[in-house]
Amino acid sequence: MLFMVKMDVNIPAEFDAEKATQLKFVEKNRFQELQRSGKWRHIWRVVGQYANVSIFDVESNAELHDLLVTLPLYPFMTVTVAPLCRHPSSIYEDDR
Ligand SMILES: O=C(O)CC1=CCC(=O)O1
């Protein structure tokens, strides 16, 4: 199942800078692990925002939920999810 996920990140200015750096490092490692697994297919920075738009390929709503809520930066994120399906005009047979 494919999902578009927008993550808006808001780390408060008063949050400890070293802890924020550490959280971003752990987040990056977790992201790259999920990217290698094929579950986090794409990530794009939204220009001018501390936000990303990502495409996830997971087995279920519950899997996506568990994956999102365990992200290190999740406590600082506003997450928006939209389910996706193949567009009938796509020329790519493997879109799903
Ligand atoms: O920087 C972000 O958009 C938050 C984030 C998600 C995965 C990652 O490495 O950073």
* CB-based contact 30:16 (threshold 8 Å): no
Cβ neighbors of 9 (< 8 A, separation 6 or more) are: 50, 51, 73, 76, 77
pLDDT digits (tens, 9 = 90+) for 11-69: 999 999 999 999 999 999 999 999 999 999 999 999 999 999 999 999 999 999 999 99
CA distance 13 to 55: 29
Query: Which residue among 23, 43, 80 has the greatest number of ligand 1 atoms within 8 angstroms of its CB, and so is best to mutate?
Result: 43
**CA of residue 85 to ligand 1 center, whole Å:** 24
Kindly tell me if the per-residue pLDDT of 96 is higher than 70: no
CATH number among 3.30.70.1060, 3.40.50.1000, 3.40.1440.10, 3.40.640.10, domain 2-84:
3.30.70.1060
Please identify, by atom number, the ligand 1 atom nearest to the C-alpha of residue 28.
Answer: 9
CA distance 23 to 17: 10
**CA of residue 4 to ligand 1 center, whole Å:** 14
* CB-based contact 39:67 (threshold 8 Å): yes
pLDDT digits (tens, 9 = 90+) for 72-82: 999 999 999 99
Please identify, by atom number, the ligand 1 atom nearest to the C-alpha of residue 52.
Answer: 3
pTM: 0.94
Atom 7, ligand 1: residue with shortest CA distance: 31
